[in-house]
Structure formats: C-alpha cells, structure tokens
Chains A and B, each alone.
Chain A
Amino acid sequence: MQKYVVRRLLLAIPVLLLSSLIVFALMRVMPGDALTALMGESGNVGERELAKLRKDLGLDRPYYQQYALWLWQMASLSPGDSIFTNEPIAVSLKKAIPVTLELAALAMVIGIVIAVPVGVISATRQDSASDYVGRVVAVSGLSFPEFWLGTLVITFAAIWFHWIPPIGYVSFWESPWRNLQQFLIPAAVLGFRLSAATMRMTRSTVLEVLREDYVRTAWAKGLEGRIVVYKHALKNALIPVVTIVGGQLGVLLAGTVVVETIFALPGMGRLTVEAILYRDYPVVQTNVMLVAATLVTLNLIVDLTYAWLDPRIRYS
C-alpha cells in the first residue's frame, strides 16, 4: 500500500508540472494584462507611464523568467503577491478557502443526506410512486442550472418572506448563527444539484446489488429487510457512489463561482474569476494549481477508500 501511495504521489509531479505550463501559457495567450484592467476607463496614460507601471508589475520580463520565478515561488510554498492588489496570495487564499470549503462541505452533506436515502428508497420500491417521485426529483436536480435555481430562490424569498440570507460574509467563529443563515440556502441549492447524480447512482447500484447471490442468501436466511439493505447491500453499492462524491467535491472546490456570486460569498470561485478578468496571473496560476493538487489528492483518497469499502480490493 505504501509503495502504491508513493508511486501515485510521484506520478502527480508531471501532472502538476503540465498543469502549471498549460495555465501559464493560457494566461499569456489571453489579450491584455493586469495594467489594462487597472486602467479602468481612463485614457490618461502616456506610453512612458504605461511602460513604467508595466515594469513595476514585472510584466516586462521574458515569459521563461516569469514562469521560472513562479515555479520557484510555488515550490517554496510562497506564491507571491497579486499584481493587481499587492495582497499576498497566501492571504487571499486564507480568506477564500474557508468560504468555499464550508460551502462545499455543507453542500456535500445536504446532497448525501438527500441522495442516499432517496436512492435506496427508490431502488427498494422500484416502480412505485415513491420511486417515481425520487426519479423526478433527481431529474429536476440535473436539469435546473444553479444560476437559475439560485436566482429563483433569492427572488422568491425576498417577495414571499421578505427575507434573504444576510449579505456581507461573516465567519462561523465570528457569528455562528449569521454564518449559517448565509450558507444554508446556497449550500441547499448546490446540494440539490449534487444529490441528483448521487441519487441516480445510488438507485442503480443498489438495484444491481440487490440482485446479487449473497443478498438473496441473506433474504433466504430470514434476515430483516433493513439489515439486508443497509448492512449487506448498501456498503457494496456505495463504491461507485464514493467515486461520484469524490469527483463532486473536486468540482465543488473549483466550481462554486455561480452560487458564490448570487449569494455574495467571497470564495475561491469569485477570487479566481476576478483574477482571470483582471489578468492577475499569479493569483490565477496559484488557484488553478491548488485545485489541480486537490483533485489529484482527492482521486488518491477515493482509490484508497475503495479498499476500505471492499476488502477484495488490494493495492500493491
């Protein structure tokens, strides 16, 4: 197992290097730079002033130098400063990561809490009314885009209840109640979306497992239905579900920008999108690398979880 983990970690190095090269190149291919964005709508800048500002921001250096410097900064875990705001990137990340993590974690919990029981009920009562309701809910979750659902929720909450989640992020430690008010609705929007795929996967794998010989044996032994389903069938049925959930967590870390925007949460998504729009190269590059590293790690964790869920799986 140890060897397997070490090999996977070594394999991650070329993946991360390739990712770094791609994101670095893509950012340079995009027209404009941080200075252009910074200029706002002025035209009050002469060529000399522009050149000076560009030099101050390090944008006049050759690309290979910019890339080498950035790699060095990443390797030494000191990603440098935003060229747009001068704020150390580590500080920006320290503010944004907890927001996205909290949102993702709550969304995952809500998603799983909805998906697994509904999926199991749907499978165990196949073609019944509850199965159809569950499937409709799942299809709805897959069909409603987050931006539409989020906008709908916030608009109707304002009209019907004269209430929306308080705007202006506060951390959980500052005010747990206010923080939860801010996060529960966006997490529910995300969670509803996530639950759809998980629910469908749970339903189909539980259906499959319920037809296995060992489950038939359990029924034949006269075990209680709940024990057959939850103790014998569900554990095996969860293996593909874990894969889905693992993938979803990675997507959540990088893809909550729409919900963050609608609910005014200052997470990783908004940080990255703003940095792309402002051509804040170091911030985009660092964020992308962080997401890439997280995905690599999550994939490893998912693979290792397989072994725990299914003792037949062994890595060597």
Chain B
Amino acid sequence: MAFNSSDTAAFKGVWVFCEQREGVIMSTSYQLLSEGRKLANDLGVELCGVVLGKDIKEDYLKALGGYGADKVYYCNHELLDVYTTDAYTKVICDLVEDKKPEIFLIGATNIGRDLGPRCAARLHTGLTADCTHLDVDVAKYKEFLKTTSTIDVDNTVFEENTNLKMTRPAFGGHLMATIICPRFRPQMSTVRPGVMQTQPYDEAGAAKTVIENVDVKLDKSDIHVEVLEVKKAAKKLVDLIGADVVVSVGRGISKDVEGGIKLAEELASVLGGVVGSSRACVDAGWIGADHQVGQTGKTVHPRIYVALGISGAIQHLAGMQDSECIIAVNKNESAPIFDVASYGIVGDLYKVTPMLIEAIRAAKAAK
C-alpha cells in the first residue's frame, strides 16, 4: 500500500534522529531522547533512536538506550558516513514509510535544519522548527501554560487528544506559539541544542537496547552533491551548553573590547565557568560565534549566569532566562536584563567586575 501521511491511526511510536559526526553521536541526541522518553511514556509507546552512519561503534548505539531508547534503528552504509541531504533524506523517508512513527524529533543543528524540512516536504507532513517545549498530554500542557502564560487555563476549553503540542518562540521571541499537526503523521519538530535537559544515564537501559540493522537501499546515483572537504575550525570551541557558569559580555564592552573580554575571562575562571556573549559582540567581530547565547545562538541553563553590559533583548533572554542565578551589571537602570536578574548592580562593568573578581576570590580563600 502506498504511504499515506493522513492515515494518522497507522502511525505509532516516538523517534529521535541521533546525529553523528565523525562516528560520534552528538549530545543533542541525548537531550532529545530524554525528552522523547517522556512523550513515549505518556503515549505508552516505544522510543526509537535512528542512527545513520558508517561502522558506528556498538557501544555508542547501546548508549542511546541509556538515555531512554528502547530500540535503535541503525542504518549502516558507506554513503552515510558524511552527511548529504540526498542520502539522509532517502534513507530516513524510506524508514518512516516502512515503520510509520507518530512523532519524529530532530536536533536543530545546521544539519538537522537541512534534513528536517526536506524530509517533511517529501513525506507530506508538517514540521515545527526550534521547539522549546513539547507535550502530548493535555493535563501536562495545561500545567505548563499555568506557569508560563497569562492564559486563564481553568476557564479555557482544550480539546482532549494526544496530538503533539509543540511550543516555540514566534516573531523574534516576542510571542510564544503552540503548533499542532493534527491531520498528518509523523508530527515532526526540531529542537535547538541545549533546550532540553539530558536525564541521567541508565546502565540498565543501555544493556536492554535492541539494535535493529536496517537494510539500507542507497546508490551513488541517489546523491546529487559531492562533498569535497569537511573542515573543522582550528580553534577549540567553547562548551557553553555544558558549562556550570557562564559570564557573558555585551556591547557594553565597546569602550575597551579587549579589556572587557579579559575581565569576563577572569571572572569566569574565578567562578569556574566560560565566556559567553550577546549577538552584538559576535556581529561586531569581537568574539567568535560559538560564544553567542540567545535565540539564534545557544540556549544555556547554567547555575550562574553573569551578564556584563548586556541590555537583555528578548532574543538574548530566550537563551538564558532559565539560568538558576542571574547576575547583571549594566550602567542603565532600566535595561530589561534587570527584569530577569536575580541580582542587579547598576554600574560601570569596568569598575564593578574587578571588584567582583576580588571579592569572590577573597570569599573562596576564606573557605
């Protein structure tokens, strides 16, 4: 029978695309599996990881079970070693048409954002980009709205069904929208790296994982691009997402860029963290794009987030407002960053930061 994406009842199970680069599974996959596990539990269905690659270590495949996968569909083929849109789209669409999952999550990496839309267009289904919250259970969705919106939840009627409710920022983060894809399957969404939290690794889960080798039908003639080179940046990238403490700089360092970054580095090192930044600094070329926090940068949830000379534009807040403790230093007392800050100091960062560094050093030394 031909594949029919509107026969919604025929689809079952939650899938996560587990992206690998150079044979290593990307950490975004673990975040999505952790999230997918909750959805699969609420639906009472299986959670499956989908891995495309060449000769991936079995340990790596098993480890996906440690993050919640019941089963791993492993597509092993020489032409899947390095990502190409054509090869990956074909293999994934073939598999979806065969197995029919109801939900399919993809990390919103530079590759996931290339693959997701191409697959959704071929499968004739919807795709929601950059989701920040996912629910299937209406009661849980209502709880979510109660804490995050001004909607009068108790006096609003919600249709009772298990459609995937995909919440994402809209219009540059000025609004939140919950999107559904009620008529077609799979319901697809991409999720930015760092948005979902990885659950603790479970050895027992890893041991139980079922690995199913998929019979990949792929030929050179299916691929219409030629990858001539894959080049990694020479410099080691900053691990913002995994950091416990992030000290970020904004345009407030414009007076003395080098000095400002140096202060941030020093404060970060005293606190045991890394340096982040607003987009303004990245656009100005003061710091590498890997440092950017925010809607078009990285989403971080550190224990401590320090904002030095950052105004707190909504797109920046989108990437850091869930940090546990936010400390903001800004000259302007009406800067919006103070609306989300746990502690705010109205002052010149070049004066305040050195004092902070000194006081924290002293406090640590006293312990």
- Whether A and B are associated in the same complex: the answer reads no
Which positions in A face B, CB cutoff 8 Å?
none
